[in-house]
Amino acid sequence: MKSSILKNTLFTVLGGLMIAQASTVLAHNQTGSFTTGLAAGVDFYQVTCFDDGNGAPSFLEAQVKDMTASTSKVSILVYKGTSCTTNKCAQSSTDTTDSDASYSSLVKVTQGAGVYNLFVKHTTTGTDSYDVAVHCKTAGNVHTGTSVSSKQQQ
């Protein structure tokens, strides 16, 4: 009887830990849609990279998945700052295949801690849905604090 209670408790704790880990990973996906039908609509987000105890942020990486079968393609543009000493201050990526399980190529902007601007756009009129994966990471490629804030939806 005691062994059975211990097993149930262990499975409950492990299950809870797995659920908590899954929500942590999913917390940095930003879904959205272009509902106004405007051609070249743009959604704007700000992503804040901060030290959450895992280390100081070095870069933001992002990619987009176009979730609507249509002629429009969804792209992202990530940039930070107004002065830059490298050619990696702004990067863009486009998902060229609609409604599949794959994301666009990964872009990486290495500008340390702070606020990065993330723009999501589509190319033609109509509605479109997307999923953007964003992650702030340390120089050692360890995930660190990432917060996403919506600023404009079209």
Q: Which residue has the tokens 């830990």?
A: 17
pLDDT at 9: 40
pLDDT in tens, 13-64: 334 433 333 333 434 788 888 776 777 788 999 999 999 999 999 999 999 9
Residue 101 in any domain: the answer is: yes
pLDDT in tens, 137-147: 999 999 999 99
Residue 21 in any domain: the answer is: no
* CATH number assigned to the domain comprising residue 109: 2.60.120.380
CB atoms within 10 A of CB 81: 15
Give me the number of domains the chain comprises: 1
Over pLDDT 70: what percentage of the chain?
79
Residue 7 in any domain: the answer is: no
48: nearest Cα among 30, 64, 33: 30
